[in-house]
C-alpha cells in the first residue's frame, strides 16, 4: 500500500508518501510548502486557497512527476479553525487564524450566558479562547454577515476533504477540539449551542477516523494523474494522528507531542470529566481507535521560535543547532517561566526578560542563556503536568514518549528525563504524517487496528532513549 498524507501545521505543510513493505512503513517527503497567515485590517486569516493549491501540487508531484500508484489520501491540520460554506458550496468568508484578536475577552462574555462549569460538563474540553465555540460565538455577538448566509461549517481538514471529494463530513477527532462536541454521547452538544443561539443545523455528520469519504473529484483525479484515488478521513486533528504513531505498549506511559505546542497526555477508554479535571484545565479529545486523548495543551517551542524570529531581525541570525549548542553551555536553572504566559506573538525575548526582572530572577544575557531558560521551563512544566496526570487518572507513569519535530531536541529530551525522573523515548520525528498514513491503512483494511499500527512503528523507526541523570 502507498498512501499520501497531507500534514498541515501552523507554519508549514508537507505531502508525505507512506509505503508499506514487509511489515514496515517507510515515509518520504514529496512536497513541502510554507503556511503563512495573512494580516488584513479586518483580522488575521489563513491562506486556505493557497494551501489547497499546494495540496493539489503535492498530488500532481505524486501522479504526474513521480508516476506513483497511490492507494489512499488523507489530510490533517491543526485544531479549532473552520470555514463557512454558502448554499452553493462556496466559501462565504475566509477562515480566520486561531490567534486572531476577535476572541479577546470572549470567554467572559460566553460564561455570562452559559457558566464555565456547565460548558465543561457538556464537553470536557480545556478552556482556550480560540476554541471553535468562542470563535463562532464571537462572530454571533459581532453579527458577522457570513453567519447569515452560512449553510455549512467545516473544520479545516474537513474543508480540504470537501474540496477534494465534494463530501461534507466532520471527522471526529477534529470535531472534538471545538468545545461543542460531547465525548460521552459522541455527537455535537446541540443544547449548548442552542443556549448561545448558535445554529447547529449548519454542522455536518460526524464520521470516525479511517472512514472512506469518497474519491478524488474527476477534475482533480485527471489533473493530478492519480485517477479516482480514495480519500479517507484520517486523524483530522494533527495531534490525533501523532498520538496514533506513539510506539507505546502497556499503560505506564504518557506522550508529549512536541512542536509549536506541547500536548502532554495519556489515552483513556472513556472521557474523564469532573471538578478536579476542570480545575486542572485538562481536556478530553477524541482519538484513533475509539480512544480519548486526555491531555493538557501548553505552549511549546513556540517561545523559542518567536525568540529566534525576533533575533533574526537584529544581529543574531542563529540556527536551532547554534542555539542548542550555546544553551548546553549556559548556566543551568538560572530562571523559570510559565510558558503559558507567553501565548501572544511579538517581542518574545523582551517579554521573557521583563518577566524575569519583575519576578526577581536573573535576566538571560544572551540567546544561549535565553534558550536554556525556555527549555528548562518547558521541562519543569511537563513535570508538573505529568504529576497531575498521575493524580487525576490514578496511573503510574514510568515512560514518556516524545514524538514530533521537538523529539529531535536532544537537550530538551534530556532535561525532561532529568526533571521528571522518568525514562524518555524520543521519536518518531514524523509522528503526525506516520499516524495519518496508519489511520488510512486501518480504514482501508491493511492494518487491523491501533495495536498493530504501533507494532509497525516500533519495527520501522528508531527511538532514542534518555535516562534521568
Q: What tens digit of pLDDT does each residue of 380-408 get?
A: 999 999 999 999 999 999 999 999 999 99
Instruction: State pTM to two decimals.
Output: 0.94
- Residue 314's Cβ-side half-sphere holds a number of Cα atoms within 13 Å equal to 10
Whole-angstrom distance, CA of residue 281 vs CA of residue 143: 30
Whole-angstrom distance, CA of residue 380 vs CA of residue 56: 42
The phi, psi pair for 153, rounded to 5°, reads -105, 125
Give the catalytic positions in this structure.
Answer: 238
Give the residue among 163, 155, 154, 152 at the shortest CA–CA distance from 52.
Answer: 163
Confirm whether 2-237 and 248-427 share one CATH topology: yes
8 A C-beta contact, residue 343 and residue 381: no
Q: What is the pLDDT of residue 386?
A: 98
Q: What is the pLDDT of residue 285?
A: 98
Determine the length of the chain.
469
Q: Under DSSP, is residue 100 helix (H, G, I), strand (E, B) or coil? A: coil
- What value does the CA radius of gyration of the chain take, rounded to a whole number of Å? 22
Q: What is the pLDDT of residue 344?
A: 84
Whole-angstrom distance, CA of residue 443 vs CA of residue 139: 36
Instruction: Please give the full DSSP string across 57-85, using - where no structure is assigned.
Output: HHHHIIIIIS-----EEEEEB-SS-EEEE
N- to C-terminal Cα separation, the chain? 43
Residues 6+ apart with CB under 8 A from 103: 129, 130, 134, 135, 138
Task: Give, in order, the Cα–Cα distances in Å from 338 to each of 30, 345, 377.
Answer: 38, 15, 7
pLDDT single digits (tens) 232-266: 999 999 999 999 999 999 999 999 999 989 999 99
pLDDT single digits (tens) 2-24: 999 999 998 899 999 999 999 99
The phi, psi pair for 46, rounded to 5°, reads -90, 145
Whole-angstrom distance, CA of residue 347 vs CA of residue 344: 9
Strands 152-155 and 82-85: antiparallel
Whole-angstrom distance, CA of residue 155 vs CA of residue 132: 9
Instruction: Please give the full DSSP string across 103-151, using - where no structure is assigned.
Output: GTTHHHHHHHHS-HHHHHHHH-----TTSHHHHHHHHHHTT-HHHHH--
pLDDT per residue of the chain (469 residues) written in tens, 0 to 9:
999 999 999 889 999 999 999 999 999 999 999 999 999 999 999 999 999 999 999 999 999 999 999 999 999 999 999 999 999 999 999 999 999 999 999 999 999 999 999 999 999 999 999 999 999 999 999 999 999 999 999 999 999 999 999 999 999 999 999 999 999 999 999 999 999 999 999 999 999 999 999 999 999 999 999 999 999 999 999 999 999 999 999 999 999 999 989 999 999 999 999 999 999 999 999 999 999 999 999 999 999 999 999 999 887 788 999 999 999 999 999 999 999 999 888 899 999 999 999 999 999 999 999 999 999 999 999 999 999 999 999 999 999 999 999 999 999 999 999 999 999 999 999 999 999 999 999 999 999 999 999 999 999 999 999 999 9
Helix 367-393 to helix 302-312 angle (10° resolution) is 170
Q: What is the pLDDT of residue 233?
A: 98
Whole-angstrom distance, CA of residue 104 vs CA of residue 101: 5
Q: What residue spans of 292-430 are helical by DSSP H?
A: 302-312, 320-329, 348-358, 367-393, 410-420
Give the residue among 241, 250, 255, 144 at the shortest CA–CA distance from 199.
Answer: 144
Q: What is the pLDDT of residue 317?
A: 82
Domain 248-427 top-level CATH class? alpha beta
Give the position of cell 548546553: 328
Domain ranges of the chain: 2-237, 248-427
Q: Superfamily for 2-237?
A: ATPase, nucleotide binding domain (3.30.420.40)
Amino acid at each position: 500500500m502507498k498512501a499520501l498524507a497531507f500534514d498541515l501545521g501552523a507554519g508549514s505543510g508537507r505531502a508525505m508518501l507512506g509505503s508499506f513493505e514487509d511489515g514496515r512503513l517507510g515515509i518520504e517527503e514529496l512536497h513541502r510548502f510554507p503556511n503563512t497567515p495573512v494580516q488584513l485590517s479586518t483580522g488575521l486569516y489563513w491562506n486556505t486557497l493557497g494551501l489547497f493549491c499546494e495540496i493539489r501540487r503535492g498530488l500532481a508531484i505524486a501522479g504526474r512527476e513521480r508516476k506513483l500508484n497511490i492507494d489512499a489520501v488523507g489530510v490533517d491540520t491543526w485544531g479549532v479553525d473552520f470555514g463557512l460554506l454558502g448554499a452553493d458550496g462556496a466559501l462565504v468568508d475566509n477562515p480566520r487564524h486561531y490567534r486572531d484578536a476577535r476572541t479577546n475577552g470572549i470567554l467572559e462574555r460566553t460564561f455570562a450566558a452559559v457558566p464555565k462549569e456547565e460548558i465543561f460538563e457538556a464537553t470536557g474540553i480545556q478552556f482556550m479562547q480560540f476554541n471553535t465555540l468562542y470563535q463562532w460565538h464571537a462572530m454571533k455577538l459581532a453579527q458577522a454577515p457570513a453567519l447569515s448566509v452560512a449553510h455549512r461549517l467545516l473544520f479545516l481538514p474537513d474543508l480540504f476533504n470537501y474540496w477534494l471529494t465534494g463530501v461534507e463530513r466532520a471527522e471526529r477527532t477534529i470535531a472534538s477540539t471545538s468545545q461543542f462536541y460531547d465525548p460521552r454521547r459522541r455527537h455535537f452538544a446541540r443544547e449548548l449551542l442552542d443556549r448561545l443561539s448558535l445554529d447547529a443545523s449548519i454542522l455536518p455528520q460526524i464520521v470516525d477516523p479511517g472512514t472512506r469519504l469518497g474519491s478524488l473529484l474527476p477534475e482533480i483525479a485527471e489533473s493530478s494523474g492519480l485517477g479516482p484515488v480514495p480519500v479517507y478521513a484520517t486523524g483530522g486533528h494533527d495531534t490525533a494522528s501523532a498520538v496514533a504513531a506513539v510506539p507505546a505498549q502497556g499503560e505506564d506511559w504518557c506522550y508529549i507531542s512536541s512542536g509549536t505546542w506541547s500536548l502532554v497526555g495519556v489515552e483513556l477508554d472513556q472521557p474523564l470529566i469532573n471538578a478536579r479535571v476542570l480545575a486542572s484545565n485538562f481536556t478530553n479529545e477524541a482519538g484513533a481507535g475509539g480512544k480519548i486523548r486526555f491531555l493538557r495543551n501548553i505552549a511549546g517551542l513556540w517561545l523559542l521560535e518567536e525568540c529566534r524570529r525576533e533575533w533574526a531581525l537584529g544581529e543574531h541570525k542563529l540556527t536551532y543547532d547554534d542555539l542548542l549548542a550555546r544553551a548546553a553551555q549556559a548556566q543551568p536553572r538560572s530562571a523559570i517561566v510559565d510558558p503559558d504566559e507567553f501565548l501572544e506573538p511579538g517581542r518574545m525575548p523582551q517579554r521573557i526578560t521583563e518577566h524575569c526582572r519583575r519576578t526577581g530572577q536573573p535576566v538571560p544575557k544572551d540567546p544561549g542563556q535565553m534558550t536554556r531558560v525556555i527549555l528548562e521551563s518547558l521541562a519543569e512544566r511537563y513535570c508538573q503536568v505529568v504529576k497531575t496526570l498521575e493524580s487525576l487518572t490514578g496511573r503510574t507513569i514510568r515512560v514518556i514518549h516524545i514524538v514530533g519535530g521537538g523529539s529531535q531536541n536532544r537537550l530538551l529530551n534530556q532535561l525532561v528525563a532529568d526533571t521528571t525522573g522518568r525514562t524518555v523515548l524520543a521519536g518518531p520525528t514524523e509522528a503526525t504524517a506516520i499516524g495519518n498514513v496508519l489511520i488510512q491503512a486501518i480504514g482501508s483494511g491493511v492494518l487491523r487496528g491501533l495495536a498493530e499500527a504501533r507494532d509497525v512503528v516500533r519495527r520501522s523507526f528508531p527511538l532514542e532513549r534518555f535516562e534521568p541523570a
